Amino acid sequence: MVVDADICGIKVGHRYPSHIMGVINLSPESFYQSSVVSQDSVLEIALKMVKDGATFLDLGARSTWRFSEQISKKEELERILPALEVLEGNVDAVISVDTMFPEIAEEALKKGADIINDVSGFTTDPRMIEVVAEYGCPAVVMASIKRPGDALGMNSIIEALDSIIWAAEAGGINQKNLILDPAIGSWTEFKLPIHDFEILDDFERLNIFEKPLLAALSRKSFIGEVLGKPATERLYGSLAAAAIAAYKGAHIIRTHDVPETVDVVRLGGALRSRANVVKESIYEVSVLEVKTPQDAAVAMREIGATSISSQVMQYKNIHLMLKIRNLKTTDGLIIKQEMLSLGGNAAFKRNTVFHETEMTDVLIMGTVLQLERVAKKLKRQGNSLPLIGEMIYECIANRNDLAYRYLR
C-alpha cells in the first residue's frame, strides 16, 4: 500500500514528509472565531504560513460547523474571489478552495485555485464531479453518504470513500487527482467523540485505497471533549492528534496553527516505518497491511476483482491469533482438533497431548471465518467448550465495538 503522488508539483506519499495545509478562514460564522481572517490580512497571513512551513493553503468562506448561520452562494463567492486575486502569483503554495458547490468551484479555478476541497464528497451537488473532471484539478473528498461527514465509524467511512472513488472515476476524474479525508469532527448530531477516536486509531486502514490522505483535526470537538476545553485552548491537544495522524499515515495535515504543527508532524512522520515495497524492472511486490475483511474486499476491487468474488473471499484474508487461558487438557485437545479440521492451527503446553498436564493455555490461529466456525462448533461440545465458543465470538466482535474499545 504505497502512495507516491504529485499534487500540483508537490510530492506526496509514504517516501515524503507529511505536508502542512494552513487554514485561511474567511467565515465569521466559524466555530473557532480566533482563526477568522479579514480580507485585508489574507496575503500577510498566507505569506507567514508559507514561511512557517505550509505547502498548501486552504481557503474557506462558508463555515461547515453544523450550528453556524448559513450564507448564500453569492456571499461565499464574494468572500473567496478577492482572496484568490490577492494570492495569485504572490504566494509559493498550492491553493485549495473549500466549497461544496460546483459554480463556486469553477469560478475559483478560473481565478487561480489549484485544488477543490469538497467536504460533501461530491454528494451536495454531483455536478462538482463534472467541474473537477473538466479542469483536471486535484480534489479533496471527504467521507460522506448523503450529507457532509455522515459516515459513522471507520467501516462506514471506507464504504463511503469507496463509493465516492467509483463515482468520480465514472464521471471522468483521474484517480490520481483524488485526496481522501475521513471526516474527523462533529459533522452530524449522531457523530460522537469515539467515532473520531476510531478514525485516528485506525487511520492506517485508509492506506488500502493507495491515495493521498488528509487529516483535518485542528481544534475539533473531540479534542475539547477529552480535555474539557474550548477551541481557543485546544492547541496542545491538536498537536498531539496531528502527531498521531502523521505517524499513522496522514500525508497532509490541515491546521490553523502552522508553525507549531510543523515540528510535531515532522517527528510523527519520522517515527512511521517505511512502507514495505520491492521494485524490479516493471514488477513491484508490496505488503498490504489489511486489518478487516471489509478492507480486504476493497483491495480486491481496487485491482478489478468482481464485487461477488470480493465478498466471498474477504473473510478468508484476515488472520488472528487468540489466546485462551486455563483450559483443561481434554478441552485444549478438542479445540486443536477442531481448528486443524477447519484449516487453522493451535498450540498448547508441551506434553499436553500425552495428558501429562492437567491444565493448559491454548493459542488458536486462523482466519476470522475459521475462528467463527470453530466457535460455532465448540458451542455444541461439552464441559467448558460452549462457554469458550461464546467468548471467542465476543472477543472477535469487540474488535469493531466502539463502546468496548473507547469508553472507559
The residue annotated as part of the active site, out of 220, 248, 373, 377, is 220
Residue type, 233: E
Report phi then psi at 216, rounded to 5.
Answer: -110, 90
Distance CA 304, CA 301 (A): 5
Q: Where are the beta strands (DSSP E) in 107-201?
A: 115-118, 139-142, 178-181
How many residues make up the chain in this entry? 408
Which residue carries 496575503 as its cell? 43
Report phi then psi at 273, rounded to 5.
Answer: -75, 155
Q: What strands lie across the sheet with 214-216, from one edge to the other? A: 178-181, 139-142, 115-118, 94-98, 56-60, 19-25, 252-255, 214-216
The residue annotated as part of the active site, out of 211, 254, 336, 377, is 254
Which residue carries 478441552 as its cell? 331
Nearest to 302 by CA among 142, 175, 144: 175
Check if 254 is active-site: yes
Give the alpha-carbon dihedral of 147, 153, 159, 161, to 10 degrees: 60
Check if 127 is active-site: no
Q: Where are the beta strands (DSSP E) in 34-128?
A: 56-60, 94-98, 115-118
Which residue carries 502527531 as its cell? 243
**Catalytic machinery residues:** 220, 254
